[in-house]
A = this chain, B = another copy of it.
Amino acid sequence: MSRNTSAGPFADSADGTADGTAARRTGRPRSRAADEAILAATRAALAELGFSRLTLGDVAARAGVAKTTLYRRWPGKSELVVDAVADLFDKLELPPGGGSLEADIEEVILQFAALLARPEVRTALMAVVAEATDDEALRARIRQAIVDRQKRLVLQGRARAQERGELTPPADPRQAEYEADLIFDTLAGAVVHRALVSCEPVDTPWATALATLVTQGLRPRP
């Protein structure tokens, strides 16, 4: 077992060390085109077959690539799938206008729900989390590729709310992070549970209700 344990396909091909001189070693460089073809094929196969019926041989065939090329870049199915859905999470954004905290939360919920409505995300998300329960490396990859990109929104929303004066700045920065984590787990967990466990629609009324619940919970009454 001399598995590839790199952080991802782009970690290698970034080929620029810290100093930016980008001293490529020797040999034929890896094909950038192959990376994109593989990730696209993975998303297509996920949507069509679901995570557990997806095979790396099939992905390779769809991408017009040899299996070895795939294994050279990713250690296994879970890591590949994480990277394949990762960039979809880049598109999550707070609403542009100067709304309220509650409106921001509602918007984020709906955006996340829209993502979970995509079949490739739906089938991939729980599966990779399940695989990660006893695989720290995979857990780190998920955190970096998916979780942190969601969490960013919570932090931005908090900052905006403070600017607007809706929330008071926290006394202790550690307390602030603790609270942000709570909000994040609550919002993300609730949406995922509603969508994938309860299998009920995450629509505007439900999003409003959840946003209200959390917003009111945040502001302790006197």
Which chain B positions have C-beta within 8 A of A178? 209
CB of B213 within 8 A of CB of A182, answer yes
Q: Are B216 and A220 in contact (CB under 8 A)?
A: yes
Given A133-B126, A221-B221, are A188 and B182 also a contact pair (CB < 8 Å)?
A: no
Please give the count of copies of this chain that the complex contains: 4
A202 (CB) vs chain B CBs: closest residue: B185
In the complex, which residues of chain B have a beta carbon less than 8 angstroms from the beta carbon of A189?
186, 188-194, 197
Chain A, residues 129-149, CB within 8 Å of chain B (1/0): the string is 111111000010010000100
In the assembled complex, the Cα of A142 lies from the Cα of B126 at a distance in Å of 15
- List, in ascending order, chain B residues with CB within 8 A of A215's CB: 217
Assembly CA distance A179 to B127 (angstroms): 29
A111 interface contact, C-beta 8 A: no
A199 lies within 8 A of chain B by Cβ: yes
Q: Which residue of chain B is the closest to A183 with respect to CB atoms?
A: B213
